[in-house]
Structures are given as C-alpha cells and as structure tokens.
C-alpha cells in the first residue's frame, strides 16, 4: 500500500517513502511473525480496520520491508511508488528495457518526462494500479516534478506544492500541514532549510507513531493504514540525488513521574555509486538496546550521560524490486536482519562513527508529544556519541538533551 510524498516539488524538492510491503490474504509463512524496527517481533497477519474496506478479504499480511524509491540512470532523478508492487515493477521493467534500448544507440541518452509518460501509456491498465512521485533532472540541470495518480495534491505557505500518495497519504499530509501552521517569521532556520527539516521530521515522527502499542489496532494508525517500517528521504538538487544523512532518534517516555529512554535508533543510508540503479542505495536501522533506561534528574555536571546497550537488533533494507529481478530458483533472503554480534559491532562502531544529527521525541503514552532536533553545528558538540568499549556499545548522550527532555516532561505532565 504505502505512504510516499513529494514536498516543495517546484522549488526545493524532497522525496519521502516508507518501507512496509503488504499483501492481501493470510500470511504464507508458518511463523506468521515479522520483526519491525519500532515494535520488535509482531504478528504478520492483521485485519483491515478501514471503514471503506470493500474487499471480501479482510485479512492482510506484512511480507517484508523494502525500499520504494529508485534512482534513474546517470543520477538524473528519483521516483517513488505507492500501491501495487507488481504493477510498479512492470513499469520499472518496461522503463529499464526502454533505457537499455536507447543507450545501445545513444550512450548519452537520459530519461525525460516524455520517456516516463510513454512508458506509463505502454503498460495500459496496469498504470491505474499504482502511483509515482518524483523528480527528473534534464540536461540543463532543471528539476521537473513527475506525478502519476497522486492521492492528494495541496499547496502550503512554507513548503510550496506538495503531493502524497498511497494508503498513508493523509497521515503524511496532516504532518506537513501541522508543521506549516506553526512556522512563523521568527522560526529559527538553523543550518538546514525548512523543507529539509520537514523531510527529516516526517521520517522521525512516523517512526515514533509506529512504536505506539495501539499501532495497527486503531483506525488511522500507521499499520492500520498499511504503511510503516522506516521512512527514507532524499533531497534532489540540480546535480542529482542526495543520500539521507545519518541520524539517531531518541524516544523519551514519561511514566509514573519518571523519565525513561524507551527507544534509541541509528538510521543511515549507504550509497555505492557504481552499482546499478536498483542496487545503489540501501537503508539500515539499528535498535540500540532493548531496555527502558531510567534517566537522572536534570542538573548533572557531566557533559554526557552514558548507557550501555544490552542488545542491538537491526535490518538492512534493499530495493523492493530487487527480488523481482532475482532468479526464482535462487533462495534469496527477503532482507538481512537480526541481532548484531561482536564482529558486526566492531565493523560498525570501530572506529566510532560521527553522528551529527539527532531527533528527540518526548511522549507520555497519550496523543501528545514534543519533538526537537539537535545538530552538532547548532549545539556546539555532538548530541550523541557511540563508541565500542570492551566489545560493548556505549551510548553517550549530551546532558543538554536530557535536560530538554525533563523540561518537556514537565510541560506534558498534568
């Protein structure tokens, strides 16, 4: 089903997409369970809660996580798809053939809007089963939106023309409109633009919403809207597609007048420029620790508060289309996921990675939460430092973030 969005499409475009792959009917897997970053191991079969559900089949299941963005050859843009995966793959397959044929005659051939429109027309009725949002960059470095079957189009004061598609389109639209409403002339710009802040905010906000225990059991929650996983985002500038910057998300929970760190995520994206378009990017998310960590009261004299992660679970998410291109007789795993062992920790955290971006969310298990961003350039120090000490992962959190969380907790507490 999906949730994708194209924000500020005509001026400073950013493309956003979720990674949950679903299908109608019961799950064919015997275990009927799946690991999701925000919820851990959950059942893979669910009931359709939508009041508009007209399908005879009320059961649906989660098949895997997969990237729904794909780059165009020669870094000339990016598209994201929503709704029917098989129909979207038919488009990609036809487009790939067209690209390969044209390049055999003209090595300088590049995809244009006409290329995309003609490919859509060639797949006929399949074209009605999916949506596409994206940006095409021409030979003059001009960026032009490409939109096919959008669920909703709307104009905002601060983010220009926006589009959203898929079953979770209205969830993303509501976040965009809420953010647009609170921005005033005094809103601090900081080191990034309003549009980039929004793209990262959507990614962090939807991940937070997915961790709610009511997710999937209430109408309009992410799982009940057939979307979720991790939301990747990309800036598309005049020279090509930009990789989503590495970040950490911290979720603070207020419980019985105490403050806990309930979730710690490390989110990053890898790019291999020489790989084919479908294999160029992969996205990973690692849950650092599996406990609720009680936090000290504000006022600490130390610059950092150190926690030791007891267990680290992660997943590497590749293109949704990659499995379609794989020989059916080859038993390829749907995704790489599991517990990070010592060798993996050494590979990932030795030497310690530099992480300049952190998103903080403070909530009280109700419908209210306070969010903020913390960047090294704006804070004057690293918000979070990860380091491997005696093969154990230490998470060092700047105490300014903890002080902020306590102050936010006071605002949220009755």
CATH number of the domain within which 81 lies: 3.60.20.10
Pairing of strands 336-339, 312-317: antiparallel
Q: Would you say residue 339 has pLDDT above 90?
A: no
With beta carbons less than 8 A apart as the criterion, state whether 289 and 245 touch.
no
Residue 310 confidence (pLDDT): 87
Strands (E) across 84-243 are located at 130-137, 143-148, 152-156, 160-165, 232-237, 240-241
Do 275 and 181 lie in one domain? The reply is no
Q: Are residues 97 and 229 in the same domain?
A: yes
Whether 314 and 325 map to the same domain: the answer is yes
User: 214 vs 366, which has greater pLDDT?
Assistant: 214
Residues 6+ positions from 290 with CB-CB distance below 8 Å: 310, 311, 313
Choosing from 241, 261, 284, the residue where a domain stops is 241
DSSP state of 41: E
Task: Based on the fold, state whether residues 258 and 237 are members of the same structural domain.
Answer: no
Among candidate residues 199, 223, 241, the one where a domain is terminated: 241
Give the mean model confidence (pLDDT) for residues 256-265.
92
Query: Alpha-carbon torsion 195, 197, 198, 204, what sign?
Result: positive
Task: Based on the fold, state whether residues 247 and 237 are members of the same structural domain.
Answer: no
pLDDT of 51 higher than 70: no
* CB-based contacts of 218, cutoff 8 Å, min separation 6: 49, 224
Whether the pLDDT of residue 349 is over 80: the answer is yes
- CA 308 from centre of chain: 26
* Mean pLDDT value across residues 51-56: 62
Are both 226 and 297 inside the same structural domain?
no
Q: Which of 238-252, 298-312, 383-397 has the lowest mean pLDDT?
A: 298-312
Q: What is the DSSP string of 374-394?
A: EEHHHHSS-SEEEEEETTEEE
Q: Are 220 and 251 part of one and the same domain?
A: no
Same domain, 248 and 229: no
> How many folded domains does the chain comprise?
2
User: How much is the pLDDT for 300?
Assistant: 66
Whole-number Å distance between alpha carbons of 414 and 134: 44
Residue at which a domain ends, from 241, 266, 289: 241
Given a cut of 80, whether residue 194 has pLDDT beyond it is yes
Task: Answer yes or no: do 341 and 304 share one domain.
Answer: yes
Is the pLDDT assigned to residue 330 strictly greater than 50?
A: no
Do 284 and 207 belong together in one domain? Answer: no
Omega of the bond leading into 340 within 30 degrees of 0 (cis): no
Can you tell me the mean pLDDT for 386-408? 93
Q: Does residue 109 carry a pLDDT above 50?
A: yes
- Residues 202, 59 share a domain: yes
Does 260 lie in the same domain as 236? no
pLDDT at 140 exceeding the cut of 80: yes
Domain residue limits at 42 = 1-241
Q: Note the pLDDT tens digit of each residue in 111-125.
A: 999 999 999 999 989
Categorize the per-residue pLDDT at 327 as very low, low, confident or very high, splitting at 50, 70 and 90: very low
């Amino acid at each position: 089903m999906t949730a994708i969005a194209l924000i500020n499409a005509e001026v400073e475009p950013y493309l956003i997409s979720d990674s949950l792959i679903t299908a109608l009917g019961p799950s064919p897997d015997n275990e009927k369970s799946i690991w999701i970053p925000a919820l851990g191991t959950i059942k893979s079969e669910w009931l359709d809660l939508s009041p508009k559900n007209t399908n005879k089949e009320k059961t649906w299941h989660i098949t895997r996580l997969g990237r729904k963005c794909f780059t165009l050859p020669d870094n000339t843009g990016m598209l994201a798809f929503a709704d029917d995966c098989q129909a979207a793959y038919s488009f990609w397959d036809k487009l790939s053939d067209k690209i390969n044929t044209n390049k055999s005659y003209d090595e300088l051939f590049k995809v244009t809007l006409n290329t995309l429109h003609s490919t859509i027309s060639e797949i006929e009725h399949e074209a009605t089963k999916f949506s596409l949002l994206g940006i095409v960059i021409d030979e003059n470095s001009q960026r032009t939106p490409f939109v096919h079957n959008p669920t909703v189009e709307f104009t905002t004061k601060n983010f220009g023309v926006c589009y959203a598609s898929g079953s979770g389109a209205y969830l993303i639209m509501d976040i965009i409109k809420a953010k647009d409403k609170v921005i005033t002339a005094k809103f601090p710009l900081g080191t990034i633009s309003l549009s980039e802040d929004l793209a990262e905010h959507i990614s962090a906000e939807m991940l937070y919403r997915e961790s709610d225990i009511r997710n999937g059991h209430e109408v309009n929650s992410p799982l009940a809207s057939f979307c979720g996983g991790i939301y990747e985002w990309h800036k598309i500038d005049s020279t090509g597609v930009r990789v989503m910057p590495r970040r950490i998300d911290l979720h603070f929970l207020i419980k019985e007048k105490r403050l806990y760190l309930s979730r710690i995520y490390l989110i990053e994206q890898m790019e291999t420029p020489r790989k084919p378009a479908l294999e160029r990017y992969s996205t990973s998310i690692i849950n650092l620790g599996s406990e609720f960590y009680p936090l000290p009261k504000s006022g600490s004299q130390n610059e950092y508060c150190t926690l030791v992660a007891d267990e680290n679970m992660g997943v590497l998410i590749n293109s949704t289309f990659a499995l379609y291109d794989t020989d059916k007789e080859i038993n390829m795993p749907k995704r790489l996921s599991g517990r990070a062992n010592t060798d993996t920790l050494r590979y990932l955290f030795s030497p310690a990675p530099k992480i300049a971006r952190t998103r903080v969310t403070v909530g009280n298990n109700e419908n209210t939460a306070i969010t903020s961003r913390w960047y090294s350039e704006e804070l004057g120090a690293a918000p979070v430092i990860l380091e491997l000490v005696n093969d154990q992962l230490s998470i060092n959190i700047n105490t300014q973030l903890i002080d902020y969380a306590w102050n936010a907790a006071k605002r949220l507490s009755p």
